[in-house]
Chains A and B, each alone.
Chain A
Amino acid sequence: MNALAGSLRIALVGNPNCGKTALFNRITGSQQKVANYAGVTVERKEGRFVGPSGRVMQLLDLPGAYSLDAASPDEAITRDICEGRYPGEAAPDLIVCVADATNLRLHLRFVLEVKRLGRPMVLALNMMDAARKRGIRIDIGALEKALGIAVVETIAVQRGGAAALIERLDASVALDAVAPAMPDDSGQPATEANLHAQVRSMLAAAVTMPRATSAIDDAVDRVVLHPIAGLAILAVVMFLIFQAVFTWAAPVQDAVTYGIGELGAWVGNLLQPMPLLHSLVTDGVFAGLGTVLAFLPQILILFLFILMLEESGYLPRAAFLLDRMMFAAGLTGRSFIPLLSSFACAIPGIMATRSIQDPRDRLTTIMVAPLMTCSARLPVYTLLIAAFIPRQSVLGVFNLQGVVLFVLYFAGVVSALAVAWVIKRMRSDKSEHALLMELPSYRLPNPRDVAIGLWERSKIFLRRVTGIILSLTVLLWFLSSFPSPPDGATQPAIDYSFAGVIGHWMTYIFAPIGFNWQICVALIPGLAAREVAVASLATVYAMSAADDAATAQLGATIASQWSLATALSLLAWYVFAPQCMSTLAVIRRETNSWRNVWISAGYLFGLAYLASLLTYQIAKALT
């Protein structure tokens, strides 16, 4: 950081949906650092770039805001940093305010508000390509004159689309061309009416707008927001995603499993002289790593779809369609986006609830987010589905395995709505809370922005795999290897180990829901992260199997040893179980309350036990 001490600090601010993050990606490329603001979990994105003169500049991407009169924690951070009073953050030397050129009526008001801070600033008129396509003409000179600040056109989604802005920023350092904006040169008190009046006169002076909205948006919205067609499209989109996750990933998954297996065998051969180390590496490290890494393709596909829906502007439409239903359940349409992200992982999902301004709606969303089927459950689901559900077609088009997966996801959604409804009934404060959500213009997802997002998210996943998961698998290997079986033992070695003892002990609680001791053992490390459970099962069965071949065929092993009722019961368990320390830790951090952690862990455990009990007993009676 010290090397950058003398460089210019620039903050990027703007309304939500102004293309700010795309512009940030365009300017900084891969030179970004994503972290959190100290003490809170609003994402802090910083990057650096070099101007034509060779000068290094730091760029901070602030959360989107409609107003500096903050209505959510995100907006409060933007306000505090712009005003230079956020603890631990230096005030920016220069503010780049980003405005969507097709939406100036709304965005210029915020520009005026930022200008009143009296800091040096530049206005970036983004999405100029879309503006030109729609025949919008903006007289930059007139706008600069009216605003009293420099105005630069940008096209964030185009190569070189930010070159003019970078040049301007670079020059502003050398020539000091960007004078501090006048706090308020209108001479009028800062009322809403005045700000809006100023915007109107600027628009009249500098902007020609053939029509208020894009004709394409209108046409698409007529279909997508249609009461019947819209809901049908939403259902088809969701269903296609899940079919894709299950079918597209299969070949890649097989390749990953094969590759890791071969590598494990090769390394195992080298370690043959040292039996203990050989066992650790092949049964612990490779068995665990291979089983989990095999699910990376599926997780990437899921992230890819969520990112594309986000980028295209479809997500708020889905929220619009579902608001009434979610409102009846005690949520809001806005909860849809955090809850959908929770399908990938509850952690970013819970963090995304910061966009819900209302604390009460936010808490309810956080409480039910763990019920959304996160990608970490996929390893468990896919393992069990592949082992127990026949691959046959239903109605000629659908794969039965895909249908079961869809049912599991659906069960999570329905129970989330039910729990939210119960929370709504139980709370005493029944005052009104707003939806107030912008439906942005449709955009083709930009491959570069999707790729950057995908890369960031897979990095987080891989870090978890290599860190927590690997160390836990090795710990489990230790527990299941020691102590060694006594001489003349008749049972597999793991029966006599620490893990075996703990597992047998736990069966007193879990026998009624059909779990054998191997599952119980796997549940322990599964507390740290759900996907570890599969790795643990692989380890447990590898340890108890006669030969190493069993490692590779975990699916075949459990298919022959478990009853269908046990498999279904474990699936039901995973729909609800609070098996993720990181999620609980995030709930603690986001709500700042241990009470909420205990409530959510408690209710999830209760539901999981109940659901598994019912599933097991009913399935046993039927089979």
Chain B
Amino acid sequence: MVREVEDAHAADPIARRLRELGFVNGEPVRVVASGPIGGDPLLVQIGYTRFALRRAEAERVLLMAGDAA
């Protein structure tokens, strides 16, 4: 479950877009697949949508324990 999205620097546009796409507090999230080389990017399920995120982007999303989605 998502706790919050952390800005990597001030006014981080990537973090802002992540929040717009639904990475907000309390939202269940799940890693569905990962890329063929080095496990990058990650395929992340949030809500009813799947997004491809590079690991560096996914690191902004802080998680907390919740009910298994």
Contact = CB atoms under 8 A, between A and B. Distances in A.
A437 interface: yes
A316 interface: yes
B50 to A, nearest CB: 4
A212 B48 contact: yes
A467 to B, nearest CB: 41
B6 interface: no
Nearest to B32: A221
A432 B51 contact: no
Interface stretch (A323-331, A457-465, A527-535): A323-331
A230 interface: yes
A228 interface: yes
B53 interface: yes
A137 interface: no
Interface in A178-197: 192-193, 196
B67 interface: no
A558 B19 CA distance: 61
A436 B40 contact: no
Interface in A25-81: 66-67, 69, 71
A324 B41 contact: yes
B2 to A, nearest CB: 10
A487 interface: no
A222 B18 CA distance: 25
A8 B51 CA distance: 37
Interface of A: 66-67, 69, 71, 102-106, 109, 192-193, 196, 209, 212-213, 221-222, 225, 227-228, 230-231, 316, 319-321, 323-325, 327, 333, 432, 434-439
B23 to A, nearest CB: 9
Interface of B: 8, 13-14, 16-22, 24-25, 27, 32-33, 35-38, 40-41, 43, 45, 47-54, 56-57, 69
Contacts of B27: 196
Contacts of A325: 37
A438 B36 contact: no
A323 B25 contact: no
Contacts of B36: 227-228, 230-231, 321, 324
A320 B35 contact: yes
A230 B43 CA distance: 14
Given A106-B49, A209-B48, A432-B8, 18 more contacts: A66-B20, A69-B16, A102-B48, A109-B20, A192-B19, A193-B24, A212-B47, A212-B48, A320-B41, A320-B52, A323-B54, A327-B40, A432-B14, A434-B13, A435-B54, A436-B17, A436-B18, A436-B57
Nearest to B28: A212
Contacts of B56: 432
Nearest to A197: B24
A320 B47 CA distance: 19
15 contacts: A102-B48, A105-B47, A106-B48, A109-B20, A192-B19, A196-B22, A221-B43, A228-B36, A231-B36, A320-B52, A323-B35, A324-B40, A432-B14, A434-B17, A435-B54
B19 A323 contact: no
Question: Does more than half of chain B's interface fall in helix, strand or loop, or is it mixed?
Answer: mixed
Contact of A436 (B24, B45, B53): B53
Contacts of A66: 17, 20-21
A346 B33 CA distance: 32
A227 to B, nearest CB: 4
Contacts of A432: 8, 14, 56
A193 B25 contact: yes
A321 B35 CA distance: 6
A29 to B, nearest CB: 31
Contacts of B16: 69
B37 A324 contact: yes
A327 B53 CA distance: 12
Nearest to A325: B37
A321 B36 CA distance: 6
Contact of B51 (A192, A227, A437): A437
Contact of A324 (B24, B35, B43, B53): B35
Contacts of B41: 320, 323-324, 333, 435
A435 B52 CA distance: 7
B50 A213 contact: yes
Given A66-B20, A316-B52, A434-B14, A106 B35 contact: no
Nearest to A324: B37
A321 B39 CA distance: 10
Contacts of A323: 35, 40-41, 52, 54
